[in-house]
Each structure stands twice: as C-alpha cells, then as structure tokens.
Amino acid sequence: MVAVKLLNTFGIHENKFQEEVKCLIKAKHKNIVRFLGYCADTQGKMEEYEGNLVMARSWLLCFEYVCNGTLDKHISGRM
C-alpha cells in the first residue's frame, strides 16, 4: 500500500519542486516514512486563481503507507 499526496501547485515553481524531491529521495531514517516516487503532470490545464487564468499542474508524491493514525494525532496525544 502507498500513501499519495496531491500538491497544490499554485505559487510553486517546478525547480523548487525538483529540489524538494531530491531532498525526499535522500531522507533515509527509521523514523521517517519512505519516499517511493512522484508524478509531475506536464500537460496541465488552465484554471482561475485570484482572478487570473493560470496553468495548473498536478504533482503527486508517493510514500510508504503507515497505519496507526497521523503524526498530528501522535504529537497532540489524541491517539
């Protein structure tokens, strides 16, 4: 099983996304979920954002799936 995160691409430049992916690839630790890969749609589509038409792309990040709730719930003690 995998966990997929769909990113909001408004305001994020592709170079910055690629830099973040490189960091995720390098991050290897027993307490960090493993990064498996990504998908960056290069086609995109035009959407309205703050009154302007912008090119919207879909960027997905894939991680190993870890059960037992979210990090937020563990930190806040709501588990």
How far apart (Å, rounded) are the C-alpha atoms in residues 79 and 69?
7
Residue 63 pLDDT exceeds 90: yes
Token pair recorded at residue 42: 């290069």
pLDDT at 59: 86
13-56 confidence digits (pLDDT tens) = 778 888 989 999 999 998 888 999 998 876 667 778 788 887 77
**Would you list the domain boundaries of the chain?**
2-76
2-76 is classed in which CATH architecture? Answer: 2-Layer Sandwich (3.30)
pLDDT score for 14? 79
Q: What is the pLDDT of residue 40?
A: 80
Name the nearest CA neighbour of 31 among 60, 64, 7. 64
pLDDT value of residue 50 = 83
Q: What is the mean pLDDT of residues 9-15?
A: 75
